[in-house]
Amino acid sequence: MDPAPLLDAFRQQFHDAPAFLVRAPGRVNLIGEHTDYNEGFVLPMAIEQAVWIALRPRADREVRLRSLDYPQAAEISLDRLEKGPGGWVEYLKGMAWALEADGRKLGGWEGLIRGDVPRGSGLSSSAAVELACGRAFAAASGLDWDPAAMARLAQKAENQWVGVNCGIMDQMVSAAARRGHALFLDCRSLEYQHIPLPAGRVVVILDTSTRRGLVDSAYNERRAQCEAAARFFGVPALRDVDLTAYQSRAAGLDEVTRRRARHVVSENGRVLQAVAALRRGDADAFGACLDASHASLRDDFEVSNQALDTIVAIARRQPGCYGARMTGAGFGGCAVALLRLESAAEFSAAVASQYRHQTGLTASIYISQPGDGAGLVNAA
């Protein structure tokens, strides 16, 4: 997104340039799905689409933030944080609450917010809002920026203030990503490494345009099944079960829990294989991991849908495609594919038209370069 209109609007409203301009990106997960809350491995990357805030500090403890995308504006006092009816303002309040509960002394600020992360499609627009607000508070209050600590607080805001029981992946990648790289993250220790994507390849995001209600309850049900499986194996989290341990004992689990556990155990292994493939520049092996991940999410974890299966099958048939899978929580939303760069334009046109033909639905397709995590941008 070009921040110029946001800066112009700021100058118009405040008759001055902002003291800070911050941005925090959305994300797409390349592989490692439903592994974060099992304390396993993930490999997401930040996308170019992001949430931006132009701001200046205030002398009091008020925060005034106007959205250029929504009619709703935020007028909050840091001394009286109360949950409201919902909307993006709750992410702002949740961040303020989590930061203060962690002992950070916050000052007030005022400004404007605008973003271009598609909403509700599984590209983590909510994590982008949380991290943008976190970065704004850090800038206005002179706090150090520690990506992992901020991501943890953003996750806490989402879990306890907004009431969505997500893992740590989305907030971590929005906080800590690096341009040109995917983020290989250990969701237990929060240690991470930036892994370059191979030259001459691009990531393509395929939004099926399907959304299913009840995603939250299905997500919570999967989490509970994973926790039950971990208890059965006598470990803190499924991260601690490897394939050999799984195979020797899984027969004692009921059929559904067994398949849920098999997805998580095998997916953790696939993330490690995918990272090794990226390190040796082996796009074919990486693509094979994507394909196997989709099958596991569809058959064992059962979080795909017809539209995702269809778009993944269409994508794989196209020349230059190394592999494809559903991405994010599932039940609709987006798939992701790795592609030879020179095939990208033709690929997008072919997938869009075949998908429309087969389903009657319109896909949105984004060719995406890995972007930077949350940060300050020079507003001059």
Query: What residue ranges bind ligand GLA (CB under 6 A)?
Result: 33-34, 36-37, 166-167, 169-170, 328-329
- Using the minimum distance from each CB to ligand GLA, give the nearer residue, 22 or 329: 329
**Active-site position among 36, 170, 300, 372:** 170
State residue 293 phi and psi, 5-degree precision.
-60, -45
Q: How many Å is the Cα radius of gyration of the chain?
A: 21
Residue 168 C-beta: closest distance to ligand GLA, Å:
7
Which secondary structure element, helix H or strand E, spans residue 372, and what is its range? none
No. of helices (H) and no. of strands (E), the chain = 11, 12
- Using the minimum distance from each CB to ligand GLA, give the nearer residue, 6 or 336: 336
Which residues, other chains included, contact 321 with Cβ-Cβ below 8 Å and sequence gap of 6+?
287, 315, 337, 338, 339, 340, 343, 347
Cβ atoms of 17 and 10 within 8 Å: the answer is yes
Residue 2 C-beta: closest distance to ligand GLA, Å:
27
- Using the minimum distance from each CB to ligand GLA, give the nearer residue, 94 or 167: 167
- Using the minimum distance from each CB to ligand GLA, give the nearer residue, 236 or 252: 236
197-198-204-205 Cα dihedral, nearest 10 degrees = -20
Residue 91 burial (C-beta neighbours within 10 Å; 0-12, 13-18, 19+): buried
- Using the minimum distance from each CB to ligand GLA, give the nearer residue, 139 or 187: 187
Q: Is 299 a catalytic residue?
A: no
Residue 74 C-beta: closest distance to ligand GLA, Å:
23
Residue 164 C-beta: closest distance to ligand GLA, Å:
7
Rounded CA separation 303/327 (Å): 10
State residue 163 phi and psi, 5-degree precision.
90, 25
Place of tokens 């790289």: 181
Q: Where are the alpha helices (DSSP H) in the chain?
A: 4-14, 89-101, 125-141, 147-156, 169-176, 215-233, 243-249, 255-279, 283-299, 306-317, 344-359
Residue 139 C-beta: closest distance to ligand GLA, Å:
25
Total residue length of the chain: 380
Residue 61 C-beta: closest distance to ligand GLA, Å:
31
- Using the minimum distance from each CB to ligand GLA, give the nearer residue, 67 or 327: 327
Q: Which of 377, 304, 271, 378 is nearest to 44 (CA)?
A: 271
Residue 241 C-beta: closest distance to ligand GLA, Å:
18
Residue 44 C-beta: closest distance to ligand GLA, Å:
9
Q: Which of 288, 286, 327, 287 is nearest to 304 (CA)?
A: 327
Residue 52 burial (C-beta neighbours within 10 Å; 0-12, 13-18, 19+): buried
- Using the minimum distance from each CB to ligand GLA, give the nearer residue, 45 or 139: 45
- Using the minimum distance from each CB to ligand GLA, give the nearer residue, 37 or 91: 37
Q: Which of 23, 13, 4 is nearest to 139 (CA)?
A: 23
Cβ atoms of 62 and 108 within 8 Å: the answer is yes
Question: Annotated active-site positions, please?
Answer: 170
